């Protein structure tokens, strides 16, 4: 479970056909680009939550 | 030679270079330790906390070559160059899950390299040699490519020359680097990394704010790049695959390149060195949370490939795209700052790579196979000497051999480095595999990966997998074969060799408790 949470954004980033599109754009960025850039902080946040969970 | 030199930019560039050179020599006195002890020289005494490690590991993994190469692929063919993002998203769960365990066992048993650990775990010095040999082999061309990154910006400053004289600034810079690395060890890049990373962040933030203002926003940048790609593809008669999105035939290579590179990255000796130099397991976990900041930065640097299109930069060598973009948009003094950031960005990884490769050569090749009687002081002396030899070797390599050759070796290096992954990482979780089986798997992966990469005209990164109609990164095909062979042989020949590690050695101090 813990490892699944850690891996989730990475698994999304491997589902390339799903995000290999231009629309919807965000601030001029095609979907392909803003999704990948957004997955990075999401991955970081999930790792932080797992870390907090382990510490308790 | 210097008739067309951009003087303001060069003055700023040299100023920063002198500053970090002084830091490199002064670093010997930082967090004082006995530098005649290999664990002090090569791992900084394992006492770097979260902040220092964030700068050090970030400065180590995101190299100058990356800053030049990733946007150059984006400039040339577009979306495909962004494989670097899924790749860096995959890296950190692996770092979080596996590396605190490796750190714990390495700290208890005083392992300095991945090959040290493999010997302790599997009691097989041939497997140790395989891991060490792969590391040294893959690292040397990587150091050479850092030099290529540096040379690109020195050229862009306007320095010209014939023959060997054209490499004079690079040679001076690299000899200074080699001297302070062998003197200060890992402390030198750790200290310089503060300057390097701060400069790179300033450079990137300036670019992502100012360039869209000048060019009409990100939408306009993407549109301009997309239009350029459409023209290029049409001109090639549809043969070239390039654009803002991946062509269907690029999707599998994109995915497998990201996965295969993940297996390889943390296996490189320079990654191991930086990660093992931390103070405790939680420093690694905190960095798995904080290091992705560098991935965002890398994504933004990749976008510079598109910005170059929008700014009307036309270069025949895509590797010149970023330096020329900087020259087009910034005033001279800030050009010097940005170029210094990239050049110093080459020094940090080059230093750590040479230290990692030198430690590995000394402990895992020289000691077991040439002179087992070497004492710890001689071992440190030899490692310092090796770090000098490796750096000078990389310099000569760049001066004498073609850049093409270094690039080919780097491409193969990624495939090769992934082949030690089963031996190093599987062992952290299970002792089911046997040393000889892992050795056979490694040999299979090395052979298959190299064979797949070879074509009569050039070395290629991807290859259609037997019978399928799509191409897969050779590193992935090779590691699958590697794991299959290792598993089958381990089932047939159970592991009876000595294991000097115990289950409890892999657990670092439980989170939340004070360090013992």
Helix boundaries (H) for B62-124: 64-77, 84-109, 114-122
Look at chain A and report how many structural domains it folds into: 1
pLDDT for residue B467: 66
- The answer to whether residue A31 sits within a structural domain is yes
Distance CA B225, CA B140 (A): 35
Nearest CB to A17; choose among B219, B251, B290: B251
- The answer to whether residue A13 sits within a structural domain is yes
Mean pLDDT of the B426-450 span? 93
Coil/strand/helix, residue B245: coil
Report the candidate in B38, B467, B11, B446 with the shortest Cα–Cα distance to residue B276: B38
- The answer to whether residue A55 sits within a structural domain is no
Tell whether the model's pLDDT for residue A30 goes beyond 60. Answer: yes
Contact criterion met (CB < 8 Å) for B90 and A10: yes
Q: Which one is predicted more confidently, A39 or B454?
A: A39
| Each residue's pLDDT tens digit, B147-160 | 888 888 888 888 87
Tell whether the model's pLDDT for residue A53 goes beyond 50. Answer: yes
Tell whether the model's pLDDT for residue B398 goes beyond 60. Answer: yes
Q: Which domains does chain B have, with CATH numbers?
A: 7-421 (1.20.1730.10)
Mean pLDDT of the B53-70 span? 86
**CB < 8 Å to B216, chain A:** none
Task: Tell whether A25 lies on the interface with B, counting CB pairs under 8 A.
Answer: yes
Task: Tell whether A11 lies on the interface with B, counting CB pairs under 8 A.
Answer: no
- The answer to whether residue A14 sits within a structural domain is yes
Contact criterion met (CB < 8 Å) for B286 and A51: yes
Task: Tell whether A52 lies on the interface with B, counting CB pairs under 8 A.
Answer: no
Structure tokens at B266: 């943390």
| Each residue's pLDDT tens digit, B82-120 | 998 999 999 999 999 999 999 999 998 999 999 999 999
Name the residue with tokens 């497997």: B127
Q: Rounded to an integer, what is the distance from CA B41 to the centroid of its chain?
A: 21
C-alpha pair distances (Å), B271 with each of B260, B268, B516: 16, 5, 27
Closest chain A residue to the Cα of B247, Cα to Cα:
A20
Percentage of chain B lying above the pLDDT 70 cut: 97
Coil/strand/helix, residue B216: coil
Distance of residue B359 Cα from the nearest chain A Cα, in angstroms: 32
pLDDT for residue B509: 66
Whether this model's ipTM surpasses 0.90 comes out as yes
Centre a 10 Å sphere on the Cβ of residue B273 and count the other Cβ atoms it contains: 29
Phi-psi region of B127 (alpha: psi -120 to 50; beta: other; left: phi over 0): alpha
In terms of Cβ atoms closer than 10 Å to its own Cβ (0-12, 13-18, 19+), residue B312 is: exposed
- Taking one residue from A and the other from B, the number of pairs with CB-CB distance under 8 angstroms is 101
pLDDT for residue B1: 61
Q: Which residues of B touch A (CB under 8 A)?
A: 79, 82, 85-86, 88-90, 92-93, 96-97, 217-222, 244-246, 251, 254-255, 258-259, 285-286, 288-290, 292-293, 295-296, 299, 303, 511-512
Predicted confidence band of residue B516 (pLDDT cuts 50, 70, 90): very low
Tell whether the model's pLDDT for residue A33 goes beyond 90. Answer: yes
Closest chain A residue to the Cα of B296, Cα to Cα:
A37
Q: Mean pLDDT, chain B, as a whole number?
A: 88
Centre a 10 Å sphere on the Cβ of residue A4 and count the other Cβ atoms it contains: 9
- The answer to whether residue A17 sits within a structural domain is yes
Task: Tell whether A29 lies on the interface with B, counting CB pairs under 8 A.
Answer: yes
pTM of the model as a whole: 0.90
Helix boundaries (H) for B245-312: 251-265, 269-276, 281-290, 292-310
Contact criterion met (CB < 8 Å) for B96 and A44: no
Closest chain B residue to the Cα of A48, Cα to Cα:
B289
**CB < 8 Å to B512, chain A:** 55-56
pLDDT for residue B503: 83
Distance CA B30, CA B44 (A): 10
Task: Tell whether A49 lies on the interface with B, counting CB pairs under 8 A.
Answer: no
Triad B71, B73, B75: Cα angle to 5°: 65
Task: Tell whether A13 lies on the interface with B, counting CB pairs under 8 A.
Answer: yes
Nearest CB to B245; choose among A27, A32, A43: A32
Nearest CB to B89; choose among A20, A30, A40: A40
**CB < 8 Å to B82, chain A:** 32-33, 36
Which domain range does residue A16 map to? 2-45
- The answer to whether residue A11 sits within a structural domain is yes
At what angle are helices B376-400 and B125-156 packed, to 10 degrees?
50
Name residue B243's beta-bridge partners: B78
**CB < 8 Å to A24, chain B:** none
Tell whether the model's pLDDT for residue B79 goes beyond 70. Answer: yes
Structure tokens at B286: 């905190």
Report the candidate in B196, B142, B205, B210 with the shortest Cα–Cα distance to residue B339: B196
| Each residue's pLDDT tens digit, B258-317 | 999 999 999 999 999 999 999 988 999 999 999 999 999 999 999 999 999 999 888 888
Tell whether the model's pLDDT for residue B40 goes beyond 90. Answer: no
Distance of residue B209 Cα from the nearest chain A Cα, in angstroms: 13
- The answer to whether residue A32 sits within a structural domain is yes
Distance CA B154, CA B176 (A): 16
Q: Rounded to an integer, what is the distance from CA B162 to the centroid of its chain?
A: 31
Helix boundaries (H) for B401-467: 403-418, 421, 427-429, 435-453
Nearest CB to B244; choose among A9, A13, A30: A30
Helix boundaries (H) for chain A: 2-14, 16-19, 31-55
Mean pLDDT of the B186-206 span? 90
Phi, psi of B2 (to 5 degrees): -120, 20
Name residue B473's beta-bridge partners: B462
Closest chain A residue to the Cα of B93, Cα to Cα:
A6
Triad B223, B226, B230: Cα angle to 5°: 140
- The answer to whether residue A51 sits within a structural domain is no
Q: Which one is predicted more confidently, B333 or B162?
A: B333
Distance CA A35, CA A12 (A): 10
| Each residue's pLDDT tens digit, B26-38 | 888 887 778 888 8
**CB < 8 Å to A47, chain B:** 92-93, 96, 285, 288-289
List the end-to-end C-alpha distance of chain B, in Å, as a whole number.
60
Distance CA A8, CA A40 (A): 11
pLDDT for residue B132: 95
The least confident of B30-34, B338-342, B477-481 is: B30-34
Report the candidate in B381, B387, B383 with the shortest Cα–Cα distance to residue B362: B383
Contact criterion met (CB < 8 Å) for B85 and A6: no
């Amino acid at each position: 479970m813990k490892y699944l949470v850690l891996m989730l954004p990475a698994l999304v980033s491997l589902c390339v056909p799903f995000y290999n599109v231009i629309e919807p754009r965000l601030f001029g960025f095609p979907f392909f680009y803003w999704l990948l850039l957004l997955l990075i902080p999401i991955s970081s946040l999930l790792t932080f939550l797992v870390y907090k969970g382990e510490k308790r | 030679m210097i008739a067309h030199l951009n003087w303001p930019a060069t003055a700023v560039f040299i100023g920063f270079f002198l500053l970090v050179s002084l830091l490199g020599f002064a670093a010997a006195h930082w967090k004082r330790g006995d530098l005649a002890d290999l664990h002090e020289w090569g791992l900084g005494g394992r006492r770097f906390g979260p902040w220092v490690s964030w700068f050090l590991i970030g400065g180590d993994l995101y190299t100058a070559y990356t800053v030049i190469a990733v946007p150059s692929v984006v400039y040339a063919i577009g979306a495909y160059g962004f494989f670097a993002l899924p790749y860096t998203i995959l890296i950190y769960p692996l770092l979080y899950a596996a590396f605190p365990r490796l750190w714990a066992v390495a700290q208890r048993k005083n392992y300095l390299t991945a090959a040290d650990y493999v010997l302790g775990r599997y009691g097989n010095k041939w497997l140790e040699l395989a891991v060490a040999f792969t590391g040294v082999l893959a690292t040397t061309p990587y150091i050479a490519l850092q030099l290529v990154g540096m040379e690109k910006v020195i050229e862009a400053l306007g320095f010209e020359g014939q023959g060997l004289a054209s490499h004079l600034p690079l040679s001076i810079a690299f000899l200074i680097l080699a001297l302070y690395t062998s003197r200060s060890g890992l402390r030198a890049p750790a200290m310089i990394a503060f300057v390097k990373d701060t400069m790179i962040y300033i450079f990137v933030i300036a670019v992502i704010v100012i360039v869209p203002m000048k060019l009409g926003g990100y939408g306009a940048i993407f549109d301009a790049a997309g239009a350029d790609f459409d023209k290029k593809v049409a001109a090639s008669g549809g043969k070239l695959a390039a654009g803002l999105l991946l062509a269907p035939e690029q999707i599998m290579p994109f995915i497998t390149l990201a996965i295969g590179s993940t297996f390889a990255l943390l296996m490189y000796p320079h990654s191991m060195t930086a990660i093992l130099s931390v103070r405790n397991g939680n420093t690694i976990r905190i960095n798995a949370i904080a290091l992705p900041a560098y991935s965002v930065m890398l994504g933004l640097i990749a976008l510079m490939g598109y910005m170059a299109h929008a700014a009307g930069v036309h270069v025949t060598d895509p590797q010149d795209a970023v330096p020329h973009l900087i020259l087009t948009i910034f005033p001279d003094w800030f050009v010097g700052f940005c170029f210094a950031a990239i050049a110093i960005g080459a020094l940090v990884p080059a230093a750590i790579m040479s230290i990692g490769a030198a430690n590995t050569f000394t402990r895992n090749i020289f000691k077991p196979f040439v002179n087992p009687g070497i004492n710890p002081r001689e071992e440190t002396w030899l490692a310092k000497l090796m770090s000098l030899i490796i750096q000078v070797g990389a310099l000569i390599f760049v001066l004498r051999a073609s850049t093409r050759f270094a690039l080919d070796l780097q491409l193969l290096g990624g495939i090769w480095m992934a082949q030690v992954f089963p031996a190093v990482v599987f062992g952290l979780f299970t002792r089911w595999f046997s040393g000889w089986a892992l050795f056979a798997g490694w040999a299979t992966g090395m052979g298959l990966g190299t064979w797949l990469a070879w074509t009569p005209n050039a070395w290629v990164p991807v290859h259609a997998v037997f019978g399928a109609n799509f191409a897969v990164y050779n590193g992935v095909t090779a590691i699958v074969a590697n794991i299959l062979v290792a598993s089958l042989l381990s089932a047939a020949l159970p592991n009876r060799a000595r294991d000097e590690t115990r289950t409890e050695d892999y657990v670092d101090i439980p989170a939340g408790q004070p360090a013992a």
